[in-house]
Amino acid sequence: MTEPRVAKVFRLVLPMTLLLSAGEPPGALAGTGPEGLWLVTPEEAMTPGEVRSRGLFQREAPLPNSGPDIRIEKPGLDQAQQSPLDIAISFLARRAPVDLATLKVTLVKLVNIDLTERVRQYVSPEGLRVPKVNLPSGEHIVRLSLGDQAGGVTVKEIILDVR
């Protein structure tokens, strides 16, 4: 027997509502301890993921790429990672200087979770450098959006596979 629609909605929405009403999750980049920082808390990782469906005539639109170049240096994305891990991302200006005020870092979920303020202290005009980031096990899609002073915007999604 399939789950009733109302029960399914509550199962998906209730955990996210509780999470969003709680404010900043405890331990989410709150400080630097010997155990490292939590970019995504275990509670956030358990929230429902983004629903991606593809029909016969559907295709994903390309992400904007008219702003600064966003280059992922660490971690390597070709293999599973172990937590804690170092994050190193470079921002390279193309046609205009990078505008750090436009930076947005998001955990892609059914209801996206804004991580920007958690990493703001680790941002410089050259990039984002966060040492010893803790992430729960699983696959995490992080979207970075960055603009330049000419109005160009680049959006890049990275998939962090943590074991």
Write the pLDDT tens digit of every residue in 9-33.
555 544 444 444 444 444 444 444 4
Which tens digit of pLDDT belongs to each residue from 98-116?
Answer: 999 999 999 888 888 899 9
Is the pLDDT higher at 102 or at 7? 102
What is the 8-class DSSP label of residue 72?
E
> To the nearest 10°, the Cα dihedral for 75, 162, 41, 92?
20
The residue ranking higher by pLDDT, 146 or 35, is 146
**Structural domain containing residue 78:** 5-162
Taking only the tens place, the pLDDT of each residue in 117-136 is: 989 999 998 999 999 888 88
Model confidence pTM above 0.75: no
Q: What is the CATH number of the domain that holds 46?
A: 2.60.40.10
Is residue 115 within 8 Å of residue 103, measured between CB atoms? no
The domain tally of the chain equals: 1
* Distances in whole angstroms, Cα of residue 161 to Cα of each of 64, 103, 130, 137: 24, 23, 17, 8
